[in-house]
Chain A
Amino acid sequence: QKEVEQDPGPLSVPEGAIVSLNCTYSNSAFQYFMWYRQYSRKGPELLMYTYSSGNKEDGRFTAQVDKSSKYISLFIRDSQPSDSATYLCAMSSWGKLQFGAGTQVVVTP
């Protein structure tokens, strides 16, 4: 079993819809939880990070962490075609990142 599980998609949504992404994990030592966006043939770009459990909002993005369930989520409101990318969850324990497989998101006009 992988330490971090993430549905690879693709996830297709119409423009303006809410995009809902999630990951589950098995290692209770993870303390920092991140979401990265990766466009094709580019390096990942940090979108959000959360420490321990709780919610964090930044513009159209909301990240949620539920450590008791070992489950994290990312919501993108009012999605735009420019949000089409692969979204990777990542988790950190002692500075070492563990990535999910990434979910490909396609926002159609």
Chain B
Amino acid sequence: GAVVSQHPSWVICKSGTSVKIECRSLDFQATTMFWYRQFPKQSLMLMATSNEGSKATYEQGVEKDKFLINHASLTLSTLTVTSAHPEDSSFYICSASPNSTVNYGYTFGSGTRLTVV
């Protein structure tokens, strides 16, 4: 089955620094990957859609200059949280789908818990 690997699983950083999160599709090519943020006891909120070889599409209210997304290849997308602040502390999750199952067969990474101190 489709496998999505996400690293790191957790990270603690100082306020003002930047953090990069990687999302890889291990056994399929993903033209599109999605980045979500999840606060405790809340649902997943879509942040942006990452498209290979082109600019990401951000959801309303998500600062594109703060959350930099790069989708350099068909198997790798990265999310960089720039100048992180404590309010950016959250659980970040990526997902991807083989083109044949793009409407329903989403596989999620294991998530990255970011804590900004």
B53: Cβ under 8 A from any A Cβ: no
Knowing A41-B91, A42-B111, A51-B104, the reply to whether A96 touches B49 (Cβ < 8 A) is yes
Question: How large, as a class, is the contact surface on chain A?
Answer: 20 to 34
A78: Cβ under 8 A from any B Cβ: no
Knowing A95-B32, A96-B49, A97-B34, the reply to whether A44 touches B103 (Cβ < 8 A) is no
B102: Cβ under 8 A from any A Cβ: yes
Q: How far is the CA of A6 from the CA of B91 in the complex (A)?
A: 20
Interface-lining segment among A14-22, A66-74, A99-107:
A99-107
User: What's the dominant secondary structure at chain A's contact region?
Assistant: strand
Knowing A95-B32, A95-B102, A95-B103, the reply to whether A43 touches B49 (Cβ < 8 A) is no
Q: How many B residues, CB 8 Å from partner?
A: 25
B29: Cβ under 8 A from any A Cβ: no
A88: Cβ under 8 A from any B Cβ: yes
A101 and B42 form a contact (CB under 8 A): yes
B103 and A92 form a contact (CB under 8 A): yes
A100 and B43 form a contact (CB under 8 A): yes
B111 and A41 form a contact (CB under 8 A): yes
User: Which chain B residues have a beta carbon within 8 Å of chain A's beta carbons?
Assistant: 4, 6, 32, 34, 41-44, 46, 49, 91, 93, 95, 97, 102-111, 113
